[in-house]
Amino acid sequence: MTKKSRQATNDFCPQTLFLYGTYKENKTPDFGLFCWFSYCWDNELCVMMCIDGEKLTKDRIKAGNVFSANLVTEKLLPMADYLGNKSGYDADKMNFHADIGKGEILDVPILMESPVNYELEVTQRIPFGEGEVFLCRIRNVLYSEELTDQQISVGERLKNIAPISTTCNTYFSYTGEVLGSWGEPGKTFLKH
């Protein structure tokens, strides 16, 4: 296979997307969209993630050391893209209706429409230039009931929830179709 060098990029390496939920100072929820999320190990499965620059999500995680990570599915994409392109510093960001619940173990807001919700506690922060890396313990994982039905194959369950992936600034459906560029699916979100 002939190879060509590129500068640092993760193009063509699809990533899963999560909406991180935190409470603002006034105790109302804020959600932001994130993909630099993966796993690590210390006696148990843990989460590692990175947030770059100034963001309300980052401020609130640093203030309370807890947040939720809610898996983004095809159904949630318009809202997720909106939340990834609007700053939490804009006071009107969360002025829409969403079914938001509470974590069972941690004091974090949960997106009820997302089939997988992590309740995460930060145990270590590593400043990394403009970004910051967070190592987290998974204090709880909430699954929608449909995911716990052992009668349905894993393949079917995954297809039913249809998590999206992203690479090359583009969203992809579970089966690989292009669902739009970053910034597109969210354009009509508030108009519905």
Ligand X SMILES: Cc1cc2nc3c(=O)[nH]c(=O)nc-3n(C[C@H](O)[C@H](O)[C@H](O)COP(=O)(O)O)c2cc1C
**Residue of the chain from 21, 23, 34, 111 that contacts ligand X (CB under 6 A):** 34
Of 86 and 137, nearer to ligand X (C-beta) is: 86
Q: Which residues, 6 or more positions from 62, have their beta carbon under 8 angstroms from its beta carbon?
A: 125
Of 43 and 95, nearer to ligand X (C-beta) is: 95
> What CA–CA distance (Å, rounded) separates 141 from 98?
20
Range in contact with ligand X (rule: CB under 6 A) among 1-9, 54-62, 100-108, 141-149:
54-62
30 contributes a contact to ligand X by CB under 6 A: yes
Site for ligand X in 113-152 (CB under 6 A): none
88 contributes a contact to ligand X by CB under 6 A: yes
Q: Which residues, 6 or more positions from 16, have their beta carbon under 8 angstroms from its beta carbon?
A: 35, 37, 71, 72, 163, 165
Q: Which residues, 6 or more positions from 91, have their beta carbon under 8 angstroms from its beta carbon?
A: none
Of 51 and 108, nearer to ligand X (C-beta) is: 51
**Residue of the chain from 38, 40, 42, 52 that contacts ligand X (CB under 6 A):** 52
Of 161 and 179, nearer to ligand X (C-beta) is: 179
35 contributes a contact to ligand X by CB under 6 A: yes
Name the residue whose CB lies closest to ligand X.
Answer: 88
Three-state SS annotation for 70-115:
EECEHHHHHHHHHHHHCCCCCCCCCCCCCCEEECCCCCCEEECCCC
